[in-house]
């Protein structure tokens, strides 16, 4: 007896817990969920659905069916939209959905438009709910208040979709009642929702048995349907017929009137009126349109409450091979490290919902706070939110935990523009295209009072279609950064690309400074080398201050004129972007743009060393070793011949600070021509080790100056003699940075040498390689301990 009481009490407690959970889930859904974050959501969805239904009225039924199938399998979670992956089979190809559900392209179009307007905010599950309502409403049916706030599922359930949870077209009445009851829907709800068959179509294979073998069917109706649906299986299976003969393109109650006349097309339709318990509801709905509309709307709201995923799941700091969920966006993050620096790592990831590739930048919050860069992070976020433009790398979402900040950004598979320029000058039409896109992006940023301040080929990325994307706004400034004189005063940027007024530290106009940098970029694109270049930093600054450069002979006269105006050392008389657009070279390119932009950008031709060297009359071109624009600006060494390494100045620290460098947000790792490592050994020990390794690997030391070693193989490789530079930079007397960079020869041969020979040989002096996934052991252990202890914000 006591045992039975305990069991009864346990049942009551469990029932109360289930009811509480259900009410909590339901309470989290509300119509105003996106009122602040995406206020135009309903308008955008309505417009897309309206156009789709206007083109094809049947699409209304298809969109409604998507929502029905989605909710009945795993709950209203958007799982129906997921394609097959290596880890699961999607629900699209399940028996009930295959060749049945359609309209995915409409959902994709809505999602695309919403993401442009409200990136990372609205879930696909909520879009399905809104489109279902709008499809009914636009075809004359009732409206209802759609509750929102669902999260999207990260997985699908192919087995569940095939388990019979979705009623088949040959279902019996008891089967229908039980299937709907399992979803928390009443018999009245089931009959009302079946009224959705007042529009839409069905395939012959779903109603063949009814029109040939069932007796409770109007004879003339069956004969008419047989004309388009042969009796033999496999013959005409996909031929379609309207579910509602009289008004197939309107949402009304004609469906129920057909049932009264035994003209239900599907077996599962006619069982609703076949001397059973639901006959009275069919009669009521056939006589009272408003009663049908009322009950249908109520049933749709209830169906939308079937097991929604609500709330938000915080992201974890253990990024590799994990899924992160925030709001409505889900990302799968791989162990593929795209870039790494002092403060940040960038991983390759993808959106589970759209399969779109993304770059996820992970910033160590404690480190940036210690060095006072948290305001710079905030400014970078603000700038990237403001600067939404086709030629600017897009920031999709920002997330945070107790110790990490995460940027989810556009993934630029094409890599840096620098990689193309390093091969030599570009063709005029290709250079014009990139310059045109750069000017468009910079002009847009300036219109939003955003000044980049570090424009250079390393910060210009290329997407899959080789369209330019401006990146790395870590040094950018907003209008509110100006002082009372209306000018910016922070000296930053990469020396070879900065304007004279920035170097002079007297305050500068961010607009004019960016235009100068764009001029330097244009010169580099067309020449293949920098306009201002010297082994002595002060001499290079002198040349910049006087705009002392010489254009090569192949520059067209109109390009020379434009460059002289852009590289005007006087910011007051420097050309504006409006005038750049009016220049003859710019307009000439616009005239040819329509024709040339239709063709795929061809591979850039390499400039022969002699041709480039022939124009090097004033030292502005490549050095004797073929060095073009340096990947980190034009880092220089003193002219003495001592073994003392170069001290890093402020500009070098900025250029080498990969913590905010977005270079590496691309897929082709085989283009990498340099490696950097830090060492806690004295310079003398590093130099000795490099000499020892060079001897062991049979590399000759071709040239050595202040901290710079020129190493070269004795035998010729596939693309000539493989040579590389190893340069040592002193950060502090006991902390050095060493950069190894290929200067000649085959890239794959160089990478093999570094990976298989050089790295292992230098292991005893290396503290950490900058492009390595692993940090120093002590730091790695500390981070692992932090990850175990911390909780998400």
- Give the residue numbers annotated as catalytic, written as ranges: 69
* CA distances for 200 relative to 249, 252, 268, angstroms: 7, 12, 15
Q: Is 91 labelled a binding residue?
A: yes
- Rounded CA gap, 441 and 703, in Å? 42
For tokens 């089979």, what's the residue? 89
Q: Is 545 labelled a binding residue?
A: no
- Rounded CA gap, 552 and 428, in Å? 14
Contact by Cβ (8 Å): 725, 702 = no
Six-digit token string for 736: 């050095």
Q: Is 75 labelled a binding residue?
A: yes
- Rounded CA gap, 682 and 765, in Å? 10
* CA distances for 714 relative to 6, 185, 698, 705, angstroms: 87, 81, 7, 21
CA dihedral 441, 445, 450, 454 (to 10 degrees): 10
- Strand, helix or coil for residue 611: helix
- Strand, helix or coil for residue 183: coil
Q: Is 168 labelled a binding residue?
A: no
Extract the runs of DSSP E, i.e. beta strands, from 314-403. Answer: 322-326, 329-340, 344-351, 357-364, 395-400
Instruction: Give CA angle at 164 (160, 169), nearest 5°.
Output: 135
Q: Is 389 labelled a binding residue?
A: no
Contact by Cβ (8 Å): 706, 638 = yes
Six-digit token string for 631: 């990947």
For tokens 């817990």, what's the residue? 17
Other beta carbons within 10 Å of 772: 14
Contact by Cβ (8 Å): 544, 580 = no
Bridge partners, residue 717, by sequence? 720
Q: Is 70 labelled a binding residue?
A: yes
Q: Which residues of 449-468 are buried (b: 16+ CB within 10 A; e: fewer)?
A: bbbbbbbbbbbbbbbeeebb
Strands 344-351 and 329-340: antiparallel
Q: Is 608 labelled a binding residue?
A: no
Contact by Cβ (8 Å): 615, 437 = no
Bridge partners, residue 392, by sequence? 470
* CA distances for 41 relative to 47, 71, 112, 122, 462, angstroms: 10, 21, 12, 8, 31
Strands 720-732 and 646-647: parallel
Q: Is 126 labelled a binding residue?
A: no
Q: Is 446 labelled a binding residue?
A: no
The full 3-state SS of 648-666, as one line of letters, equals CCHHHHHHHCHHHCCCCCC
Six-digit token string for 641: 């011949």
- Rounded CA gap, 386 and 395, in Å? 10
Contact by Cβ (8 Å): 412, 468 = no
Question: How far is residue 643 CA from its own chain's centroid?
Answer: 46
Radius of gyration of the chain (CA): 33
Six-digit token string for 28: 């989290």
Longest CA span, the chain = 105
Q: Is 452 labelled a binding residue?
A: no
- Rounded CA gap, 452 and 506, in Å? 18
Contact by Cβ (8 Å): 258, 264 = yes
Q: Is 73 labelled a binding residue?
A: yes
Q: Is 79 labelled a binding residue?
A: yes
* CA distances for 632 relative to 363, 661, 676, 694, 701, angstroms: 21, 10, 12, 25, 24
**Which residues are documented as binding site for substrate?**
167
Annotated binding site for ATP: 361
**Known binding-site residue numbers:** 70, 73, 75, 77, 79, 91, 167, 197-198, 244, 252, 361
Binding residues for Ca(2+): 70, 73, 75, 77, 79, 91, 198, 244, 252
**Which amino acids are annotated as binding site for heme b, given as ranges?**
197
């Amino acid at each position: 007896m006591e045992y039975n009481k305990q069991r009864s009490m346990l049942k009551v407690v469990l029932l109360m817990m289930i009811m509480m959970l259900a009410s909590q889930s339901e309470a989290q859904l509300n119509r105003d969920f996106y009122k602040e974050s995406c206020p135009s959501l309903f308008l955008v969805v309505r417009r897309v659905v309206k156009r789709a239904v206007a083109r094809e009225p049947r699409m209304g039924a298809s969109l409604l069916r998507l929502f029905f199938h989605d909710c009945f399998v795993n709950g209203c979670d958007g799982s129906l939209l997921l394609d097959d992956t290596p880890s699961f089979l999607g629900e699209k190809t399940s028996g009930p959905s295959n060749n049945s559900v359609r309209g995915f392209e409409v959902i994709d179009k809505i999602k695309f438009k919403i993401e442009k307007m409200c990136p990372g905010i609205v879930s696909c599950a909520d879009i399905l709910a809104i489109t279902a309502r709008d499809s009914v409403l636009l075809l004359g049916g009732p409206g209802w208040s759609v509750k929102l706030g669902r999260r999207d599922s990260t997985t699908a359930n192919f087995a569940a979709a095939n388990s019979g949870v979705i009623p088949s077209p040959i279902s019996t009445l008891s089967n229908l009642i039980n299937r709907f009851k399992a979803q928390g829907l009443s018999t009245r709800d089931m009959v009302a929702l079946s009224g959705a068959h007042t529009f839409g179509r069905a395939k012959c294979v779903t109603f063949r048995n009814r029109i040939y073998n069932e007796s409770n069917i109007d004879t003339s109706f069956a004969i008419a349907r047989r004309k388009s649906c042969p009796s033999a299986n496999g013959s005409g299976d996909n031929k379609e017929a309207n579910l509602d003969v009289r008004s197939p393109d309107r949402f009304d109650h004609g469906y129920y009137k057909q049932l009264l006349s035994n003209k239900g097309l599907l077996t599962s339709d006619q069982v609703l009126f076949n001397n059973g318990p639901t006959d009275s509801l069919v009669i009521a709905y056939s006589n009272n349109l408003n009663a049908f509309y009322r009950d249908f709307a109520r049933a749709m709201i209830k169906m939308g409450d079937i097991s929604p995923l609500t709330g938000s799941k915080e992201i974890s700091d253990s990024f590799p091979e994990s899924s992160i969920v925030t709001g409505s966006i889900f990302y799968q993050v791989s162990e593929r490290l795209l870039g790494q620096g002092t403060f940040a790592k960038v991983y390759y990831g993808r959106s589970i919902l759209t399969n779109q590739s993304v770059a996820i930048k992970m910033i160590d919050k404690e480190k940036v706070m210690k060095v006072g860069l948290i305001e710079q992070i905030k400014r970078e976020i603000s700038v990237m939110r403001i600067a939404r433009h086709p030629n600017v790398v897009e920031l999709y979402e920002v997330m945070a935990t107790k110790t990490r900040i995460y940027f989810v950004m556009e993934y630029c598979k094409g890599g840096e523009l620098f990689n193309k320029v390093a091969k030599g000058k570009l063709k005029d039409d290709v250079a014009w295209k990139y310059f045109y896109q750069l000017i468009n992006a910079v002009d847009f940023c300036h219109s939003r009072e955003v000044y980049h301040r570090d424009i250079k080929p390393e910060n210009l990325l290329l997407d899959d279609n080789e369209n330019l994307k401006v990146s790395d706004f870590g040094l950018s400034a907003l209008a509110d950064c100006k002082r009372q004189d209306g000018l910016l005063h922070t000296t930053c940027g990469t020396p070879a690309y900065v304007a004279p007024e920035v170097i002079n530290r007297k305050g500068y106009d961010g607009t004019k400074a960016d235009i100068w940098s764009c001029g330097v970029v244009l010169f580099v694109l067309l020449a293949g080398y920098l306009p201002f270049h010297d082994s002595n930093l002060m001499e290079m600054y002198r040349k910049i201050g006087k705009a002392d450069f010489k254009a090569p002979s192949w520059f067209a006269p109109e390009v020379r004129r434009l460059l002289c105006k852009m590289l005007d050392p006087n910011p007051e008389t420097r050309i504006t972007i409006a005038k750049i657009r009016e220049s003859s070279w710019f307009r000439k390119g616009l005239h040819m743009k329509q024709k040339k932009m239709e063709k795929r950008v061809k591979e850039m031709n390499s400039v022969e060393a002699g041709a480039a060297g022939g124009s090097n009359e004033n030292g502005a071109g490549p050095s004797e070793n073929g060095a073009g624009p340096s990947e980190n600006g034009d880092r220089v060494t003193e002219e003495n011949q001592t073994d003392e390494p170069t001290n890093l100045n402020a500009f070098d620290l900025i250029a080498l600070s990969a913590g905010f460098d977005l270079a590496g947000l691309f897929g082709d790792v085989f283009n990498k021509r340099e490696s950097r490592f830090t060492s806690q050994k004295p310079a003398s020990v590093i130099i000795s080790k490099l000499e020892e390794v060079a001897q062991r690997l049979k590399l000759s030391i071709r040239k050595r100056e202040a901290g710079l070693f020129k190493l070269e193989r004795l035998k010729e490789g596939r693309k000539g003699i493989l040579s590389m530079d190893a340069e040592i930079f002193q950060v502090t007397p006991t902390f050095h940075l060493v950069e190894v960079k290929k200067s000649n020869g085959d890239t794959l041969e160089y990478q093999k040498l570094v990976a298989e020979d050089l790295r292992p040989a230098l292991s005893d002096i290396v503290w950490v390689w900058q492009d390595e996934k692993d940090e120093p052991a002590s730091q790695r252990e500390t981070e692992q301990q932090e990850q175990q202890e911390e909780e998400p914000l």
